Amino acid sequence: MSNFISELASELNLRKQDHLYRQRLVVDESTAAKLKINGKSYVNFCSNDYLGLASDAKLKLALQQATEKYGVGSGASQLVCGYSQSHQQLELELADFLQRPRAVVFSSGFLANLGVISSLLNKNDSAYLDRLNHASIIDGVKFSGAKFERYAHKNVEDLERRLKKPNSGKNLVISDGVFSMDGDIAPMSQLTQLTKQHDALLMIDDAHGVGVLGKNARGCIELANTETQKVDILVGTFGKAFGTCGAFVSGKEEIIETIIQKSRTLIYTTALPAAITETTRASLKLIRTESWRRDKLNSNIEYFKRQSERNGINLSGSSTAIQPIIVGSSEASLALSEALKHAGLLVIAIRPPTVAKNSARLRITLSAAHDQNQIDLLVSTLSAQLKSLGLATKHD
């Protein structure tokens, strides 16, 4: 056992030397665009609370009222007695909102991806993954035992070459909708066309798109003007645009019922508290009726990009709320993050293995809750620190 502990200690020390050691921040309190850590306030530019709903007064009231009715926990898994009328209504309302046949709620996005993939695939089947897919998708395929290949990022030609290979089992193509570390969007129309040509199912994890993108906030599918039924499986989360927690999977009756019958991450997990699903129902109503939140978010994204251009900051070309500043080394990304923190700005450094080696970055996320003064402070501080640390900008 002592050797075991020694090996762990060595691994931890190596992480520190390589600037890959991670530490959790202890948040004292938070609002839509600010939080407090160790008594100091920061403007938060690393939250996924895109619409500022996580601290909205209407959702706080909905949670309080739902807690009075349902209590604070669900008490059991969905297939025992943890599935309430609130869960059922949320699933029905999600299906209606997304214009899809059915939906099923999960306790987290990670569990949703593990559950749906392992329910539908086995060792005789094949999965084809975009190389930049979220870790939960990769783990879900490994959990299923299916064979898998990773095609070059957003490269439909590479995907087609792989799909042309003989395969006796089922084929499932899986892609993020909005890629969480780069903020770019999957080529939805091409993916739907290609999967139909090769008799494969298409699964899209639109965690960062549903609630934000598209005329009616239905996500990447709507943004691309793609018929929703051409995407066989749609996964989304509530911990981002919805401002609550949990996730959902939507699709045809046969797919959803198979997931309910077979998904180990649904069957053997305590259900989301009904107080949370009821609050998510309230959030969904706001998403459907208060389009000003998306308008404000889009305005903030455009303002940030415009100000960054004026200040010589290299951006990736993302059109979404996720705006990465790629600096390369883990050490440099940590230094830049710390410099911003000293200025009262919280932007966490993202390092390998979350991103590829030598592509460490600051992952800036914008919210409808930010104002232009906060964005100006971010851009001016970022520009000055990039130059101070010897990191490239357009004006260098």
**Active-site annotation holder among 180, 263, 283, 367:** 180
Catalytic residue among 87, 208, 305, 370: 208
Cis peptide preceding 353, ω within 30 of 0: yes
Q: Angle, to 10 degrees, between the axis of helix 85-98 and the axis of helix 274-289?
A: 30
- Return the number of other C-beta atoms located less than 10 Å from residue 5's C-beta: 9
Distance of alpha carbon 234 from alpha carbon 272, whole angstroms: 19
Q: Vertex 167, ends 162 and 172: CA angle to 5°?
A: 65
Q: Which residues of 279-302 are buried (b: 16+ CB within 10 A; e: fewer)?
A: bbbbbbebbeebeebbebbbebbe
395 is catalytic: no
The question of whether 240 is a catalytic residue gets the answer: yes
Question: Measuring CA to CA, which residue among 74, 20, 33, 42 is closest to residue 329?
Answer: 20
Whether the Cβ atoms of residue 200 and residue 334 lie closer than 8 Å to each other: no
Q: Which of 154, 240, 305, 370 is catalytic?
A: 240
Q: With left for phi above 0 and alpha for psi between -120 and 50, is residue 54 left, alpha or beta?
A: alpha
CA gap 31, 2 in Å, rounded:
45
- Are the C-beta atoms of residues 173 and 203 closer than 8 Å to each other? yes
CA distance 373 to 396: 26
Active site residues: 180, 208, 240
